[in-house]
Structures are given as structure tokens and as C-alpha cells.
Amino acid sequence: MLRITKEFHFSASHVIEGLPTWHPCARMHGHNYVVALELSARKEDLKGPGFVRDYRELDAFKRWIDDTLDHRHLNEAMNEAMGGGSAPTAENLCTWIFDLWKTRLPELTAVRVDETPKTSAVYRPGER
């Protein structure tokens, strides 16, 4: 199996509701997020000159990040896009992005969201 990744950056704020008031994440705060898409294919399924997928084909994802998430309050952005009900945690961002983009990118096998250089969440369906 061959795997490629590409990172996308955006800045946004959020509040994690339901936490004790003393918890720092219960207050509005922001992150410089990094979203990494992982795409995979078998050697015999490579496209064109030998791509899992041409990186340029991910430009639509970058535009979506810029339009939907960048410099937004994620509580509002995710509620607008999902119809409410999901806390804007790194974990929920991973699953939301994966579910939304899997049909457009059939090679998508994982989504990683970094909130800081030291903290991240990864959603890779099928793994335990």
C-alpha cells in the first residue's frame, strides 16, 4: 500500500461546552490548526504517471478549508455545516472532515487534525 499526505493550515477559535468552568478549553480560545489528509492506493491502482492522486486535485479541499473554517468560530461553522450537535473538538473535526470528503476522495484513508504542535487527533476508520 502506498500512502501520501498533504497538510492544510487554518486559524480558528472554539469553545468546548460542557466542561467545568475552571477548564481552559471552556473559555473561548484559538488554534493554528493543521489538517493532514492521508490517501492510499495499491501499487497496481496508481493513476497517470504513478500517483495515488495528483496533489493538485486537493486544491478544492484547500478552498473548502478557507471558505468554511479559516478565521471562523468553529462552534458556529460546524453547527452551520452539520446542523448542530457536535462539539468542535479535534476528534470531531477529524470524523466530520473524513465523512464529508470520503465520497469526493475515494482514496482517503485518514484525517489528522493538529490543534498544537504537541496535540493531535487521527481518524482512520477500521483501525482500533
User: How far apart are the C-alpha atoms of 32 and 54, rounded to whole Å?
Assistant: 26
Strands 29-41, 2-14: pairing is antiparallel
Out of 14, 38, 107, 115, pick the active-site residue. Answer: 115
Adjacent-strand bridge partners of 116: 119
> Sign of the CA dihedral 59, 60, 62, 63?
positive
User: How far apart are the C-alpha atoms of 105 and 122, rounded to whole Å?
Assistant: 17
Tell me whether residue 71 is one of the annotated catalytic residues: yes
Out of 25, 31, 57, 91, pick the active-site residue. Answer: 25
Tell me whether residue 107 is one of the annotated catalytic residues: no
Out of 9, 23, 71, 76, pick the active-site residue. Answer: 71
User: How far apart are the C-alpha atoms of 128 and 73, rounded to whole Å?
Assistant: 31
Catalytic positions are 25, 71, 115
